[in-house]
Amino acid sequence: MNKSVTVKKVVDSLGLKIHNGEEFLDREILTEDISRPGLELTGYFNYYPQNRIQLFGKTEISFSEQMTSDERLIVMQKMCQPDTPAFLVSRGLTPPKELIQATTEKGIPLLGSKQSTTRLSSNLTNFLEAQLAERISMHGVLVDIYGMGVMIIGDSGVGKSETALELIQRGHRLVADDRVEMYMMDDRKIVGEPPEILSHLLEIRGIGIIDVVNLFGVGSIRLNKVVNLVVNLELWDKERTYDRLGSGDEKERILDVDVPKISIPVKTGRNLAVIIESAAMNTRAKNMGYNATETFERNLENLIKKNSLEQ
């Protein structure tokens, strides 16, 4: 089944003005692509993308003003197809009366915005891409730590939510607990957000469901976050050898994006919140070009060379 978003949700999210057709805002949008109907204004409809939002900027409005009223009405009526979700006019421009007439006749919303055409197109495309993108659910907790989106995963009962609670107490922000909805922002970024029913809620065994906003304030949550690091909590296994230098290059593939991943053994007495906090800061340092492991290995190599020369 194809994903869709209603015109009303676009209007509410982007703060658009409704020129007419308020009763038709339940029309569905099935594609994130936007159309600027320049060729169509000349009468060329061979490849008209009629299922897209039709965006009129200063160029389209200026061109239409060179046409006669009858020519404008014919073209506007032809643009109003059964699967055309809406028309949108940027820069606070006044829609042509023929466009108002055609959309009214066909029951298609006519919207407006004061934003520039380029900015409006970008904001609209970004919003539709996020709404219509393929989504998956992951079990875990997503926390914003120093601006880094950290996805905490692990077996049930390992302490993910309890660790997230301590991180929130330390001033970091909860994005989602238990189930995290993931989608691709672009070819390199994965965004996580909570399902609506679980927004700003945290489940703690022995206590139950707590509302993070009520306990810690609105500054303790985020509505979504790019996932920069996956932290896998696993029970300590004395038979297993764990990475002590951070030289591993483990990845978690989410949709089609590889996200850096580390595994942290859970053992009595370990402060997981502080460890994960440090892991987030260390990942950010690596992203900025500083790698403590490489520095250590380089220093070790220089020390070995120095000792060899002295011998």
Residue numbers in the known binding site for Mg(2+) are 161, 203
Per annotation, catalytic residue among 17, 139, 188, 251: 139
Residue 139 CB neighbours (<10 A): 12
Close Cβ partners of 210 (under 8 Å, ≥ 6 residues apart): 165, 201, 202, 203, 204
Positions at the binding site? 154-161, 203
CA–CA separation, 71 vs 94, rounded Å?
A: 18
Per annotation, catalytic residue among 72, 160, 222, 261: 160
**Is 160 one of the catalytic residues?**
yes
Per annotation, catalytic residue among 106, 178, 189, 284: 178
**Is 178 one of the catalytic residues?**
yes
Between the CA atoms of 74, 75, 77 and 81, what dihedral angle is there, to the nearest 10 degrees?
A: 150
- Take residue 270 and report the two structure tokens written for it: 């370990």
**CB burial string 170-201: b at 16+ within 10 A, e below:** eebbbbbbbebbbbbbeeeebbbbbeeebbbb
Q: Strand 110-112's sheet: what is its strand order?
A: 17-20, 110-112, 87-89, 53-56, 34-35
Q: Where is 180: in which H helix or E strand?
A: strand 173-186
Per annotation, catalytic residue among 187, 238, 240, 244: 244
- Take residue 70 and report the two structure tokens written for it: 């009858």
**Is 261 one of the catalytic residues?**
no
Catalytic machinery residues? 139, 160, 178, 244
